């Protein structure tokens, strides 16, 4: 139906709850493009939001007021206000014994109760639990090598983490904040999809 020109290496795409706006990352430009889908042929970019280096994936808050963006080469997550389309906060991650360059957030998932966002910290081999309201990092859990894709069971009791460089998947008990076990998952697992 149409094509929309955005920055180089667009990977993350997220629709607003009302379906009128699309958010698209440009990994090269370190931008989030705001696309009005009702404009022109298929839509047009109406705003560019500067975020951290190499933005990758999105998670929207349940009420649609915040868009969280992982910045892979910045060791951060940007929190974007969807009303003003501005970055209102950056959440910085630190893992003991790791350089910033080793903390590479990509995958994210929101708990079914909407209270926590969980972030895979990539080469840091950890997953971080972040409180949605305070934006404070509540917990960090050691998993496999290159924690990448994340997915919850429908009841939110278990988080599955795809570990891309150790060819396995870690199961986390979210109540205790501890890894329960790690199981083989084939070569370079990337994305988690949990049936409901």
Q: What does the radius of gyration of the chain's CA atoms come to, in whole angstroms? A: 16
Residue carrying structure tokens 């389309």: 85
d(CA 55, CA 137): 20
For 9, 23, 110, 133, the CA distances from 60, given in Å and listed in that order, are 21, 10, 8, 13
pLDDT digits (tens, 9 = 90+) for 137-148: 999 999 999 999
pLDDT digits (tens, 9 = 90+) for 90-127: 999 999 999 999 999 999 999 999 999 999 999 999 99
Q: Measuring CA to CA, which residue among 157, 161, 186 is closest to residue 171?
A: 161
pLDDT for res 184: 96
């Amino acid at each position: 139906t149409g094509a929309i020109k955005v920055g180089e290496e667009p990977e993350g795409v997220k629709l607003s709850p009302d379906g009128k706006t699309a958010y698209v990352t440009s990994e090269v430009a370190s931008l989030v493009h705001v696309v009005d889908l009702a404009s022109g042929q298929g839509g047009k970019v109406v705003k560019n939001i500067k975020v951290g280096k190499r933005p990758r994936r999105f998670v929207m808050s349940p009420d649609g007021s915040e868009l969280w963006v992982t910045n892979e080469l910045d060791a951060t997550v940007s929190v974007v206000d969807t009303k003003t389309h501005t970055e209102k906060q950056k959440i910085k991650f630190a893992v003991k014994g790791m350089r910033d360059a080793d903390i590479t957030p990509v995958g994210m998932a929101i708990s079914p109760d909407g209270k926590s966002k969980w972030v895979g910290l990539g080469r840091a081999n950890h997953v971080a639990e972040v409180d949605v309201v305070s934006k404070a990092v509540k917990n960090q859990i050691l998993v496999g090598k290159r924690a990448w894709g994340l997915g919850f069971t429908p009841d939110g009791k278990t988080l599955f983490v795809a570990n891309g460089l150790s060819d396995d998947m870690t199961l986390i008990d979210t109540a205790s904040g501890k890894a329960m076990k790690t199981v083989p998952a084939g070569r370079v697992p990337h994305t988690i999809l949990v049936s409901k």
